[in-house]
Amino acid sequence: MLTKNDFQIIEQQELAHDIYRVILHGEFNYAGVKPGCFVMLKLPDEAYQLRRPLAIAACDSVQKTITLIYRIVGDGMRLLSKLAVGTIVNILGPLGNGFSLENVDVGTEVLLVGGGTGLPPLMMLAQVLKEKGCRVSTAVGFRTASMIFGETEFERSGQLLLATDDGSRGFKGNVGELLASQTTVSKYTNVYACGPEGLLKMVQTRFVPTETAIYLSLEGRMACGVGACEACVVSTGEGTFNKCVCVEGPVFNGREVIL
Ligand SMILES: Cc1cc2nc3c(=O)[nH]c(=O)nc-3n(C[C@H](O)[C@H](O)[C@H](O)COP(=O)(O)OP(=O)(O)OC[C@H]3O[C@@H](n4cnc5c(N)ncnc54)[C@H](O)[C@@H]3O)c2cc1C
Ligand code: FES
């Protein structure tokens, strides 16, 4: 069930350079949340009529909280970062299909690949896969050490491979180069990725020739979030601009979606 409810900010914290975590309290269809689902957040300022899509990084049906992690890219996210504890924001959700959890069982080898703002949905996914008994490896990339976040969450779920473009922490280079340096990438049953288009294309190039199932979560621009405006359409093998990321995604079969 989709709801549009007011939530109160109960925590707002800067995690890394220009990266914030906000925890919101309110009524929600918590049972309907899967890793990879997102919400459309309405800022409490009439200048911002369009809601902003943000992935659910964590949620707690007992405490009635959802956690969002966001990077300041424009005025909307900057305004969100300035909202104090106690402020009310409106949340539409849960939205999207979420990551497929088919073919995962105790001992299944899974790889999560993320960069920048693609990490929040992977945090919830890593936790759920760990609870299912999977062997979780996560490869993440950041521009530089001051932008790193999520280390504790990913390490709690399994092995973390970390890269920075400038080599200030971990492997020096991007996530693609990091994966290329590993000898074990063929062992994974499933790969799940979220991040910039270049990262998703790299995952396609690397894993399409293998047996690994590929799930890509897209973060294109959105306006309505509910399939009404067609601002978010992408192409799949079945046709041209034929799928709405907001309703039929944001997670797609990596062998079908055309980036
Ligand atoms: C399903 C989904 C889940 C998302 N989850 C997260 C998340 O968990 N954390 C997070 O930080 N961001 C996430 N995003 C991206 C987030 O929605 C945008 O960063 C946000 O809407 C920007 O709002 P703004 O007002 O700050 O920027 P705007 O003023 O709208 O834009 C500022 C600049 O950022 C660019 N930009 C805006 N949106 C995007 C985008 N989606 N991708 C690439 N460039 C963009 C614009 O082209 C412009 O150059 C998600 C997007 C989608 C579609
Ligand atoms: S954002 Fe309007 S159709 Fe997807």
Expressed in angstroms and rounded, the spacing between residue 247 Cα and the centre of ligand 2 is: 8
Q: Which atom of ligand 1 is nearest to the CA of 19?
A: 11
End-to-end CA distance of the chain: 30
Residue ranges of the domains in the chain?
Answer: 3-95, 109-219
| 116 pLDDT higher than 90 | no
| 94 pLDDT higher than 90 | yes
pLDDT at 111: 97
DSSP 8-state secondary structure symbol assigned to residue 150: -
Place of tokens 């080898």: 109
| 166 pLDDT higher than 80 | yes
Residue 99: band (very low, low, confident or very high) from pLDDT cuts 50, 70, 90 = very high
Any binding-site annotation on 246? yes
Report pLDDT digits (tens) over 25-70: 999 999 999 999 999 999 999 999 999 999 999 999 999 999 999 9
**How far is Cα 216 from Cα 208, in angstroms, rounded to an integer?**
12
Side-chain half-sphere of 1: how many Cα atoms within 13 Å? 8
Q: Does domain 109-219 have CATH number 3.40.50.12780?
A: no
Residue % of the chain over a pLDDT of 70:
100
Q: Which residues pair with 19 in a beta bridge?
A: 16, 71
Expressed in angstroms and rounded, the spacing between residue 135 Cα and the centre of ligand 1 is: 31
Is residue 233 lining ligand 2, measured as CB closer than 6 Å? no
Place of tokens 């990913």: 154
**Architecture of the structural domain at 3-95:** Beta Barrel (2.40)
**How far is Cα 241 from Cα 227, in angstroms, rounded to an integer?**
13
Any binding-site annotation on 23? no
pLDDT at 184: 74
Report pLDDT digits (tens) over 176-233: 999 999 877 778 999 999 999 999 999 999 999 999 999 999 988 899 999 999 999 9
Predicted TM-score (pTM) of the model is 0.96
Q: Which atom of ligand 1 is nearest to the CA of 232?
A: 53
Any binding-site annotation on 229? yes
- Mean pLDDT across the chain: 95
Expressed in angstroms and rounded, the spacing between residue 100 Cα and the centre of ligand 1 is: 23
pLDDT at 220: 81
Any binding-site annotation on 156? no
Expressed in angstroms and rounded, the spacing between residue 221 Cα and the centre of ligand 2 is: 9
**How far is Cα 233 from Cα 243, in angstroms, rounded to an integer?**
5
Question: Would the CATH topology of 3-95 be identical to that of 109-219?
Answer: no
pLDDT at 118: 93
Per-residue pLDDT averaged across 254-258, rounded? 94
Ligand nearest to the CA of 15: 1
pLDDT at 216: 97
Is residue 218 lining ligand 2, measured as CB closer than 6 Å? no
Any binding-site annotation on 194? no
